[in-house]
Chain A
Amino acid sequence: MNLTRRHFMVLLPAAAVAWESVLAGTPAAAPNYKLTDHWWGMLIDISKCIGCGNCVRACQTENDVPDGFFRTWVERYHVTDTNLERPQVISPDGGKGGFPIAAEDEGKYFFVPKLCNHCVDSPCTQVCPVGATFISPDGVVLVDQSYCLGCAYCVQACPYGCRYIHPEKHSADKCTLCYHRITKGLNTACCENCPTGARQLADLKDPNDPIHAFLKTHAVQVLKPQMATTPKVFYNQLDGSVR
């Protein structure tokens, strides 16, 4: 993203050493990352999503997401008449294996990738009894798995259904916006692997981030705006039938 190729070649030997610890997962403060310089969000362009499921698979690989639980998932909508209240929605295994082929009819189809919205006024962090889930200074809602009681109050409080209780760790789990990657200048696993650019990581505090120009020139939506959670995942071309 910010690193040029030449830059990287110079850094390669040093990077290789650092990568050892990165691959091993040992705690190390990422160099040159200042918490207060960033305010993370995401832009999802519905007109570009083809429902390939790459993001769901990549997330599972990157974050060891257990089967049957989803840090991100894709929904397919089929709106068949003017009644926006009753779309037909499917999400087979969260879209992990793609979607069945749809036959042409009078209705319209589209795909909606979903993940934690990293809300600024998140109801999930409000209800946590001990402070195990919180929004970081750089805008990512995270779970401290060594402090979480596993009471599932946050799971109940999330309007978007993005949380679950990890079956082995017995603590709350959800999308971390690949915090371990973005703090090292890498892209999130889902955005990296999206073949159409439907998902794009955005740093709202970076004046050069393309999201600012996009927000100025497009009509964007968020999920469930009536919940007033101030989500930071913005959708382009989100149909009114989306729940």
Chain B
Amino acid sequence: MMDYFYASGIRGACRLTLGALVVAFTCSGALAEDNPRDPYEAFNRPMFAVNEAIDKYAAKPVAQVYDNAVPLPVKASVGNFFGNAGDLWVGVNSALQGKFGDAGVDLGRLLINSTVGIFGLFDVASELGLERHDEDFGQTLAVWGVDGGGYLFWPVIGPRNVRDTVGFAVGTYADPVMYVRPVSVRNSMAALRFVDVRASLLPSDKVVEEAALDKYAYIRDAYLQRRRSQIFDGRPPRLDD
């Protein structure tokens, strides 16, 4: 559900993010709330509302048009292409976390899909049993013992605690799409990726809308659970109830 927020790799947004982060911290004393899992709630809720508006009037309608107009094989190829472009960074993060076997698989995936898979349009590696891993720099920081910091909600890039905000910022520098030139092509690619990921989340929209008593809290808690699971590679230790 949250992966859509990885989609936009726009560095401008990222700078904006870091600027806002500083603001969030300087105000944090005044924003203290009673929920220890969400110390910046007073900052996050308005940001969430802004994002809801952006999504409702821009991101979602575009994603719906894309989803209806583009045939499934093309959508799959678009997803595969950007997945392939991200596999190098996934591999680097596997290695940084000491998972060298996984890193080898990630590199193998990149090589196979970029060649046999025609520039990543086809995920041949998965067919061959080389499983795609889910790694990013935020997870690497977590494995290294960096504390999550408070939960934050950013417009456009979505929910990210302080650690993941930093991880995301570093990740944009390792994003091959950001080095595509001319700039107009780069921007089109970044936009396409954003729309593709947003479109893949359309089915879960209704579920969240219907399931949540408080959509903001539902998404926050889903994000917190999801990240915890990712950090432990899908096998988090059980919490006592």
A, B co-complexed: no
Q: Which residues of A are in contact with B by a Cβ distance under 8 Å?
A: none
Q: Which residues of B are in contact with A by a Cβ distance under 8 Å?
A: none
